[in-house]
Amino acid sequence: MSRLLLIPLLFLASCVTKPPAQEMSDARIAIKMAQELPGQQKKADSYLKSAEQALEEAADAIQHERYERARHKALEAKRNAQQAARLKQSKHH
Question: Which spans in the chain are helix H?
Answer: 2-16, 21-36, 42-63, 67-89
Report pLDDT for 1. Answer: 47
b/e burial code for range 49-71 (CB count within 10 A of at least 16 → b): ebbbebbebbbebbeeeebebbb
Which residues, other chains included, contact 12 with Cβ-Cβ below 8 Å and sequence gap of 6+?
none
Give mean pLDDT, residues 3-11.
62
Between 44 and 14, where is the model more confident?
44
3-state secondary structure of 91: coil
Report pLDDT for 5. Answer: 63
Between 27 and 8, where is the model more confident?
27
CB 17 within 8 A of CB 67: yes
Instruction: Express each pLDDT in 21-69 by its tens digit.
Output: 999 999 999 999 999 999 878 999 999 999 999 999 999 999 999 999 9
